[in-house]
Chain A
Amino acid sequence: MRLEYSRKVQRIYLNGFRLKVTAVNPLDNPINSDQKISYLVSLAEVMASNQKNSKKFVHKICHEPMRTDNIVMYFPKNFFLVGAINEKLSALTSSGIIEYFIQNFTKFNTKPIESGPKELNLRHLEGIFKILLIGCATSTLILLLENFHAKVFKKLKINRRYAT
């Protein structure tokens, strides 16, 4: 199945997109940084997976969502309790209680992001130390070459003097 994408009209066409359908939950494994794949899933599934696998890996999401989906309950047609349940759901939604229920299960124990200057460690300065090492190695090589050149040149000079 391919989903074509038109930048001009900001639309996605179902036929044309490189879309792979999987029967197993794709979020059970992390995506490596060199892989060119993306999973199209609900944010609820990502949150659940991140909570389950937080010690091993954490999934990252693209800032731009595909679309937003509404969560509902389903009933048989003309079920008598629909009106009463809708009334309660509206009250629970507007009071923020449902939001609270969801946050109870989706919040992570994360460290706050530190702001301000950081101590630089060896990992940060690795590059410049490598340059220093390469520079030292190159200069040692040049020293040896110079030494060699000087010895050879001196020998040639002595030989030339004796020859004359």
Chain B
Amino acid sequence: MNSIRLVLLMVARLYLTMCHFETTSKNSCEHEKLSPKIVNKDLVSAVKVIIEEVFSTKFTTVNIITATKGSEQHRSNDLMTAILIQNREKYAVRLDGYMNIVPIKTRLKAFNMFLLDGIETFRVLNNQLTPNYFKFSGFYLFVLINGKSVEHDEIFETLWKRHIFNVNLIYQDVDAVSVMTFMPFTRDTRCGNTKAVLVDQFVNGSFQGSLDSLFPSKFRNLQNCPIKVVTFEENLAVFRDETLNGTYELRGYDMDLLNVLSSSLNFKKEMKFLTIRLPWGYVLPNGTVTGALAELQKETQQIAIGDYYLKPNRLNVLESSVTYYSFPLVFVIPSAANSSAFRKLLQPFRRIVWVLLLATFLCGLLVIFLINIRLKRLRSFVYGTGVKHPVTNMLIVIFGSSQPKLPRRNFSRFLLMMFSIFCLVQRGIYQGSLYIFLQSDGLEKEMETLDEMIENDFEFTIFESNLDIFEDQPGIQKR
């Protein structure tokens, strides 16, 4: 009784383990052959190592796609079951059939394992490998369930032409499990070579080499192979400089950068310099691409360089590099006007200060005028009886000279003292400030903000090459 319960528990656990995986195929849980007749133990172990040690360290979901037909389907199912049983919840698995691949809504499939039975199936599968579903720069492991018989070179050549390059084939060889790939840039072969090369072998339960080199880097050294670069005259980024022998040399900071990339990745630049109108190119709303960008879209050129802005509409049809520099988009403004010679003398005080000063002196004049005309009896109280020219005396106080005759009354003395102090302070401030203004270049204030320019009803001019800056954000440009 206990033994029957144990068997039932084991079957239930196996079933649950399989259903735990993220699956798109209903048949996966209903497969009647859950107890696998393992096709090849070493192949399963090797695949397990690649998934667990290479794939799942970089990503948590592995896409397994069965590309088999007819009787081979059972073999691939057995192989897949054997692989899945060994998964100890280290990674999630998405299962797909090669004829009905279901896309992931939020991302592209990056880590993919294909169970492949032959070249015919691969040709059908190839049509299903679309950039809408798969990340072409991702990792691709093809498990050849029928061993070496499949045409390796055709698979590699087909995938390389489609820009899928992190590709490994794994199969059971005579005495070991072999992992094959292609190296497009090696010393003794032509550029873009897709001949299969052995990466590693799985013998006695382990790979011979390092696991890090199972998917080797293929583009560290391009072995002086040509890369087509399209560019054009663009300010200081790329420009033609005439040499002594009458030819032109391309210079600029983008050319310097390209030279460094060329020498560090060891590729030969094949430059194409566009001299057409608007050579940088646009991605128009109807999807038409022009200029250098069109050359990339048609794949007649491979790199476009020349102070290119990162723009969302370009990313729909092209690939961009990381940002390597940033330039602000600025407003070029008129130079500040020169101040007139008289204006410099008035610059120390703002207009309101001048108005108040003038009002103070006018008040003084008005008081003197009223006293002289109507209130002669108050003269001795305000500026003294002996003062014959009070207006001149007021000017003397303003300019800081000494008074020829002082008043005798206390009130008039106090009034003179207060006015003298007021004028002394004002004069000191004016003189100190005037000295600074006289030394300056005497320029009017420049526009400092967009607000100021808009308030002053400025007209803004934009070069047509920059016009599509606004097209990406129709309506609102948030600053």
Contact = CB atoms under 8 A, between A and B. Distances in A.
B479 A12 contact: yes
Given A20-B460, A38-B458, A69-B309, A31 B333 contact: yes
Given A20-B459, A117-B439, A124-B442, 10 more contacts: A11-B476, A32-B335, A39-B461, A62-B453, A73-B304, A81-B227, A81-B265, A82-B321, A104-B256, A131-B345
A152 interface: no
A38 B319 contact: no
B20 interface: no
B418 interface: no
A113 to B, nearest CB: 11
Given A34-B337, A61-B332, A130-B341, A19 B462 contact: yes
A50 B446 CA distance: 18
Interface in A70-123: 70-86, 88-90, 92-93, 97-99, 101-102, 104-106, 117-118, 120, 123
Contacts of A92: 257, 260, 324
Interface residues of B, number: 100
A14 to B, nearest CB: 5
Contact of B303 (A37, A75, A90, A125): A75
B137 A83 contact: yes
A11 B227 contact: no
Interface of B: 131, 136-137, 162-165, 184, 217-220, 222, 227, 235-237, 252-253, 256-257, 260-261, 264-265, 267, 292-293, 296-297, 299, 302-305, 307-310, 314, 317-338, 340-345, 438-439, 442, 444, 446-451, 453-454, 456-464, 466-467, 469-470, 473-479
Given A64-B450, A101-B253, A102-B253, A31 B334 contact: yes
Given A34-B334, A48-B236, A73-B308, A14 B475 contact: yes
A39 B453 CA distance: 12
From A47, A63, A101, residue with most partner B Cβ within 10 Å: A101
A164 interface: no
A88 B265 contact: yes
A59 B292 CA distance: 30
A145 interface: no
B337 A33 contact: yes
A41 interface: yes
Contacts of B252: 105
- 4 tightest CB-CB pairs across the interface, nearest first? A48-B235, A127-B341, A65-B328, A78-B163
A22 interface: yes
Interface stretch (A2-10, A135-143, A155-163): A2-10
B137 A3 contact: no
Contacts of B335: 30-33, 60
Interface residues of A, number: 91
From A10, A31, A80, residue with most partner B Cβ within 10 Å: A80
A72 B322 contact: yes
A19 B460 contact: yes
Contact of A77 (B265, B304, B317, B458): B317
Contacts of A45: 235, 463
A124 B438 CA distance: 5
